[in-house]
Amino acid sequence: MQLEIIEQSWPIAGVFRISRGSRTETKVIQVKLTHGTAVGRGECVPYARYDETLASVRQQIEDIRPAVEAGLSREQLLQMLPAGAARNAVDCALWDLECKRSDQSIWQLLGVAPKALTTAYTLSLDAPEKMQQKALEHKLRPLFKLKLAGAGDLERVQAVREGAPNARIIIDANEGWTKTIYQQLVPELVKLGVEMIEQPLPQADDHLLAELEHPIALCADESCHDRKDLSKLQGRYEMINIKIDKTGGLTEALALKQAAVESGFGIMVGCMVGTSLAMAPAFVLAQDVKIVDLDGPLLLAKDQSEGFNYTVQSQMQPMTAKLWG
């Protein structure tokens, strides 16, 4: 087995802006595993919020190169690397390679019948009128996810609601609120029909959520990486956002999903800003979940060949095996 680590930069269409900052490109690492004529690929997005850089993630993968090239299993990989981007790229490449070598699709391997999915469409943090304009440009999309930050958020949601009276709206504060902002905003957001709030408070303040009213479902993102986080989210969140870059691959993500459902959490499947190669394993995970948020490629100026074709109504058909799986 041969392991290749490929760094890539993909331009974002315009600017991607959240409470923590803005970006005009996304930097990813693609892992390619070659065994005979079979090639398996996986992509990850190193994420600064979780103390990851391209260099640190590359080093983590380099460190396990001998084991990977000797043919380690996905189960062994779980013991060798922690949850995070590096393990994700290797795990997804191992799944893809397993499909290619056995001449089976990921759906055949897992015994799942694939269905088309409708993804949320992200509106970057911006002035209220700019966010409304974006919503108008995308008026056929049924579900918007608004990136928020604290000050001015009510005006942002009001503006988008005015521009898209029939759309479903979810919001993501990316840890940008305080308890006071939460208490002021939430009753107003109920009136505006907001369906879900992702990560309102910093992860360190999660305990405060247990004392607050939850008329709108709260979804843990920065606070939920893998199965070991689940118990401390009880009573604080109603949903969790599973991303393969946080779980460290599809293997742990599938296990987290099952454990979370058994514990009564609603499931959202999200993504970092990555290409269709990173969306494909998440598309498998996102079958039958409440909220699908896999619009990474829609935010890019350019995507993989063989990438997902998103309709103007945000529908995604199952990927081809040429892309992944």
Catalytic sites, residue numbers: 147, 243
Q: Which stretch binds Mg ion (CB under 5 A): 23-31, 131-139, 167-175, 226-234?
A: 167-175
The DSSP output letter for 228 is G
Cβ–Cβ contacts within 10 Å for residue 302, how many? 12
Question: Interacting stretch for Mg ion, rule CB under 5 A, among 48-56, 83-91, 166-174, 293-301?
Answer: 166-174
Residue 183 CB neighbour total at 10 angstroms: 12
Segment interacting with Mg ion, rule: CB under 5 A, options 2-10, 125-133, 157-165, 171-179:
171-179
Does 153 help bind Mg ion (rule: CB under 5 A)? no
DSSP conformational letter for 56: H
Specify the stretch interacting with Mg ion by CB under 5 A; choose among 78-86, 140-148, 170-178, 208-216: 170-178
Give the nearer residue to Mg ion in terms of CB position, either 153 or 221: 221
Closest chain position to Mg ion (CB):
221
User: The tokens 């990850």 sit on which residue?
Assistant: 44
Report, in Å, the least distance between residue 50 CB and Mg ion.
Answer: 12
Q: Is 198 annotated as a binding residue?
A: yes
Residue 288 labeled ligand binder: no
Q: Find the shortest distance in angstroms from Cβ 104 to Mg ion.
A: 33
| Residue 218, number of CB atoms within 10 A of its CB | 23
C-alpha 10: how far from chain center: 17
Residue among 91 and 172 whose Cβ is closer to Mg ion: 172
For 111, residues 6+ apart whose C-beta sits below 8 A from its C-beta are none
- Please, is 111 exposed, middle or buried when counting C-beta atoms within 10 Å of its C-beta (0-12, 13-18, 19+)? exposed
Query: According to CB under 5 A, which residues from 221 to 250 bind Mg ion?
Result: 221
Q: What is the distance between the alpha carbons of residues 111 and 114, in angstroms, rounded to a whole number? A: 10
**Locate tokens 């983590």: which residue?**
60
Q: Based on the shown chain and the rule CB under 5 A, indicate whether residue 172 belongs to the binding site for Mg ion.
A: yes
**Interface residues for Mg ion in 254-313 (CB under 5 A)?**
none
> ∠ CA 179-229-256 to the nearest 5 degrees?
125
Least Å from the CB of residue 268 to Mg ion: 9
Shortest separation between residue 221's beta carbon and Mg ion, angstroms? 4
Number of residues that bind Mg ion (CB under 5 A): 3
Query: What is the Cα–Cα distance from 285 to 292, expressed in whole angstroms?
Result: 10
> How many angstroms separate the Cα of 277 from the Cα of each of 71, 96, 104, 282, 297?
22, 11, 18, 9, 9
Residue 198 binds Mg ion, judged by CB under 5 A: yes
CB 29 within 8 A of CB 5: yes
Which is nearer to Mg ion, 172 or 229 (by Cβ)? Answer: 172
Q: How far is the CB of 219 from Mg ion (least distance, A)?
A: 8
Q: Are 3 and 69 in contact (CB under 8 A)?
A: yes
Nearer to Mg ion, 106 or 224 (CB): 224
**170 or 284, CB closer to Mg ion?**
170
295 is in an annotated binding site: no
* Residues placed in the known binding site: 172, 198, 221
Q: Which residue ranges make up the site for Mg ion (CB under 5 A)?
A: 172, 198, 221
